[in-house]
């Protein structure tokens, strides 16, 4: 099987820069996969699980919003944040999910609650928990 070069970059660092066999990422219109010689495209990245397979196995990351570009066997993913499954603090993610759920349980008329932000926080926390379990 051929290779593509994967780059996952945040404002702070390059999280991944390596040749891989396949990349599967959470696009803004749904999950997408990239193999060698994929057609050029640009898409948004939604918060969720990104995984890639290489000679030594499969790695899992949780990513936030951003963009992806596929061109000439290079997959460039630019996101606000990315964590490998091994780096995730599961207890902290559970606490964040509980806080978000508590905010979402309040009356929608409550002015001091930003429900869209609470829903986004819950999705991020759940994605972090889901990805962390894959490192076990």
Gap between the terminal Cα atoms of the chain = 27
Neighbours of 9 (CB within 10 A): 16
Q: At residue 29, does pLDDT exceed 90? A: yes
- In the prediction, which pLDDT does 108 show? 64
Contacts of 51 (CB under 8 A, 6+ apart): 23, 24, 58, 59, 60, 61, 134
- The whole model's pTM is what? 0.82
Among 49, 68, 57, smallest CA distance to 22 is for 57
Q: pLDDT of 88-117, one tens digit each?
A: 888 888 898 888 888 888 766 666 667 778
Q: pLDDT of 44-78, one tens digit each?
A: 999 999 999 998 899 999 999 999 999 999 999 99
Q: Hey, what domains does the chain have and what are their CATH numbers? A: 4-85 (2.60.15.10), 88-133 (1.20.5.440)
Neighbours of 30 (CB within 10 A): 8
Question: In the block, which residue shows the tokens 């918060």?
Answer: 47
Angle between helices 90-104 and 115-133 (to 10 degrees): 150
Among 26, 49, 28, 36, smallest CA distance to 6 is for 36
């Amino acid at each position: 099987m051929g290779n593509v070069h994967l780059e996952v970059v945040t404002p702070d660092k390059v999280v991944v820069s390596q040749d891989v066999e396949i990349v599967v990422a959470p696009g803004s219109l749904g999950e997408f996969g990239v193999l060698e010689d994929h057609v050029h495209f640009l898409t948004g990245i939604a918060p969720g699980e990104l995984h890639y397979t290489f000679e030594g196995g499969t790695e899992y990351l949780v990513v936030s919003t951003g963009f992806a570009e596929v061109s000439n066997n290079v997959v460039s993913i630019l996101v606000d944040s990315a964590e490998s499954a091994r780096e995730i603090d599961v207890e902290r993610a559970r606490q964040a999910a509980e806080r978000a759920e508590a905010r979402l349980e309040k009356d929608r008329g409550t002015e001091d609650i930003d429900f869209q932000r609470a829903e986004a926080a819950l999705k991020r926390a759940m994605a972090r928990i889901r990805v962390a379990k894959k490192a076990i």
